Amino acid sequence: MNRCLSLKTAVLLWACAACAGATAQNQYPEPEPMRPGMSEYWTPQPKVVTPGDIRTNSAPSDAIVLFDGRDLSAWKSAKTDGPAEWTVHDGVFTVDKKKGDIVTRQEFGNFQLHLEWCVPEGITGTSQARGNSGVFLQNMYEIQILDNYGNETYVNGQAGSVYKQTPPLANAMRKPGEWNVYDIIYSAPVFKEDGTYRVPPRVTVIQNGVVLQDNTTILGTTEYIGFPKVIPHGAGPIRLQSHGDKSAPISFRNIWIREM
Predicted confidence (pLDDT) at residue 13 exceeds the cutoff of 60: no
Q: What is the pTM of this model?
A: 0.84
Assigned domain for 18 exists: no
Assigned domain for 198 exists: yes
Give the model confidence (pLDDT) of 186-245 as tens digits. 999 999 999 999 999 999 999 999 999 999 999 999 999 999 999 999 999 999 999 877
Give the model confidence (pLDDT) of 25-41 as tens digits. 678 888 889 999 888 99
Residue 67 φ then ψ, to 5°: -160, 120
Assigned domain for 13 exists: no
Assigned domain for 122 exists: yes
Assigned domain for 5 exists: no
Top-confidence residue, 38 or 140: 140
The maximal CA–CA distance of the chain, rounded, in angstroms, is: 117
Assigned domain for 164 exists: yes
The CATH number given to whatever domain includes residue 130 is 2.60.120.560
How far is 120 from 100, CA to CA, in rounded Å?
19
Assigned domain for 86 exists: yes
Assigned domain for 24 exists: no
| pLDDT score of 12 | 57
Domain count of the fold of the chain? 1
Question: Parallel, antiparallel, or unpaired for β 64-67 and 92-94?
Answer: unpaired
Range of the domain at 149: 64-259
